[in-house]
Amino acid sequence: MANIKYFLGEQIPLEMHKVRVVQRLDLVPIERRLEAIKEGGNNTFLLFNKDIYLDMLTDSGVNAMSDKQIASMMVADDSYAGSATFTRLESKLAEIFDKKFFLPVHQGRACENLLSQMLVKEGSLVPMNYHFTTTKAHIGVNGGKVLELYKAEALNPISSDPFKGDMDIDALNALIAKEGPDKIAFIRIEAGTNLIGGQPVSLANYEIVSKISRDNGIPFIVDASLLADNLHFIKQREDACKEMSIREITKRISDASDIIYFSARKLGHVRGGGIITNDEKTFKTLLEMLPLYEGFSTYGGMSVREMEAMTVGLEETMDEEMINQGPVFIEFMVNELTRLGIPVITPPGGLGAHLDAMAFLDHVPRGEYRAGALASALYIASGVRGMERGTISEEREADGSDHLAAVELLRLALPRRVFTLSQIKYTIDRIAWLYENRKLIGGLKFYEEPKVLRFFFGKLEPTSNWQEKLIAKFKADFGESL
């Protein structure tokens, strides 16, 4: 995106790309939207594309690829072992991150599986700035416990703290002093904390955590899935980094860490993932596990076409005008929602705009899943699919009670370079209508509930006929408009 001053004074972002391949979309009538969400058990994961107008579920595996990425897929070198495509990707990673060893995997959570199996034992502790769903599940399956050491400001929905994703350093020191380093399997920092609004981590924080981990002999692992947004924010918001290039910032983060892993569904705009390290022992241990779970060491479950495109995508990630598209669009959306008085997480982060369902639906009881109800209501009102990031995304306590999430968010992910500004404006319009009519929205309850990661397949129903009432009001206000 370019920093442009407009003659007419409007403040809108300007794209530095053109769209040359398009995909047809439909906006089905509101009656069909109600049927579709009921068929999907009020779980937006269970909707089908044919019923969705704008898919803001995630940015995972659905970011737009560049012409150069698509072109590179045509020259991929297909072989089970020793493909030149793998060597190109390995060299690109070594060039950008300055780490010698690379293990390819099929997606981000596969890294979490391998790393947790290698490092986590029964009773291990794993401090982190904030958990991600699959990370926590893998650590838990291996007998470990996640400890979230975030700053108090991290959960404050209305904030001007530029780095809400930073780890609380005092809490980390206190934990090591209390438990001793041996009990700590590893320290994890997630670049651009997914579950609390894509909030970034400062370079200073990575480097302090690194020093503490090295002083105590504890491995320091960076989850770099959302690194691209984080690099942009470090350059924009951290005084000491304003003159640094994206490449220099990347290298400093890499130098600070012992292991980096990533979902390439986010980082690199393809479908895959990987683990990189300079530590040969770590590499060799993981290498033994790789064929069992992922595939041979030169593909790891990925197609060579995706790997070839990842090489190009990683290089493009070093381009500031490319990686700022997401954050700039998100900032536009968050600022407009804020101007309209709609509760949304601030400051704007990466990944997407996050509606604060805790405040939006403060009349809905906490046990009736505010963020899930808002996801269902927004889909009905607009055909826009968001993702619940609140209590439904948590696991139940051992005694069967719900673990009420610290935040109830409706995440509206903005896959990079996929939506236009008019589509963003339509979404803002429908959210504004919904906010005006929020008291019509009621809660949800489970009628089918899986034990693990229930948010993927769980099914819920409304606690009253609020959805029909919402549709009646929509019809009264919009007539035959879709």
Ligand X SMILES: Cc1ncc(COP(=O)(O)O)c(C=O)c1O
Q: Which residues are catalytic?
A: 80, 132-133, 223, 266, 389, 455
Q: What b/e readout covers 20-31, taking b as 16+ CB neighbours within 10 angstroms?
A: eeeeeeebeebe
Contact 352, 232 (CB under 8 A): no
With CB under 6 A as the contact rule, the residue among 72, 194, 205, 382 that binds ligand X is 194
DSSP per position, 218-274:
--EEEE-TTHHHHHHHHHHH-GGGTTS-HHHHHHHHHHH-SEEEEETTTTTSSS-EE
Length of the chain: 482
- Total residues at the site for ligand X (CB under 6 A)? 14
Q: Residue 393, interface with ligand X (CB under 6 A)?
A: no
Contact 447, 41 (CB under 8 A): yes
Q: How far apart are CA 60 and CA 411, in angstroms?
A: 13
Closer by beta carbon to ligand X, 234 or else 364? 234
- What does residue 89 show for φ and ψ, rounded to 5 degrees? -65, -45
* CB of residue 178 to ligand X, shortest distance in Å: 27
Q: How many CB atoms lie within 10 A of CB 292?
A: 9
- State both tokens at 158: 């209305």
Q: Going residue by residue from 354 to 373, which x/- string records binding to ligand X, judged by CB under 6 A? A: --------------------
Q: Residue 263, interface with ligand X (CB under 6 A)?
A: yes
The residue whose Cβ lies closest to ligand X is 108
Q: How far apart are CA 344 and CA 58, in angstroms?
A: 17
Q: How far apart are CA 370 and CA 82, in angstroms?
A: 50
Contact 197, 354 (CB under 8 A): yes
Q: Residue 226, interface with ligand X (CB under 6 A)?
A: yes
Q: Residue 190, interface with ligand X (CB under 6 A)?
A: yes
CA 439 from centre of chain: 29
* CB of residue 306 to ligand X, shortest distance in Å: 12
Closer by beta carbon to ligand X, 130 or else 426? 130
What DSSP designation does 50 have? G
Q: Residue 303, interface with ligand X (CB under 6 A)?
A: no
* CB of residue 312 to ligand X, shortest distance in Å: 19
* CB of residue 144 to ligand X, shortest distance in Å: 16
Q: Residue 202, interface with ligand X (CB under 6 A)?
A: no
Q: Residue 108, interface with ligand X (CB under 6 A)?
A: yes
With CB under 6 A as the contact rule, the residue among 85, 107, 325, 393 that binds ligand X is 107
Angle between helices 203-216 and 169-179 (to 10 degrees): 10
Closer by beta carbon to ligand X, 88 or else 389? 389
Reply yes or no: is the peptide bond before residue 219 cis, omega within 30 of 0. Answer: no
Residues with Cβ within 8 Å of 480's Cβ and at least 6 positions away in sequence, in order, are none
With CB under 6 A as the contact rule, the residue among 79, 134, 285, 463 that binds ligand X is 134
* CB of residue 348 to ligand X, shortest distance in Å: 17
Stretch that binds ligand X, among 29-37, 107-115, 234-242, 251-259 (CB under 6 A): 107-115
Residue type, 245: S
Closer by beta carbon to ligand X, 310 or else 441? 310
* CB of residue 242 to ligand X, shortest distance in Å: 26
* CB of residue 394 to ligand X, shortest distance in Å: 16
Beta bridge partners of 261: 223, 275
Count CA atoms within 13 Å of residue 197 on its CB side.
33
Q: How far apart are CA 134 and CA 438, in angstroms?
A: 32
Contact 300, 106 (CB under 8 A): yes
> Which parts of 265-284 interact with ligand X (CB under 6 A)?
265, 273
> Which parts of 81-100 interact with ligand X (CB under 6 A)?
none
Closer by beta carbon to ligand X, 72 or else 263? 263
Q: Going residue by residue from 2 to 41, which x/- string records binding to ligand X, judged by CB under 6 A? A: ----------------------------------------
Closer by beta carbon to ligand X, 47 or else 226? 226
Stretch that binds ligand X, among 101-109, 286-294, 442-450, 459-467 (CB under 6 A): 101-109
Q: Residue 257, interface with ligand X (CB under 6 A)?
A: no
Residues that bind ligand X (CB under 6 A): 60, 107-109, 132, 134, 190, 194, 223, 225-226, 263, 265, 273
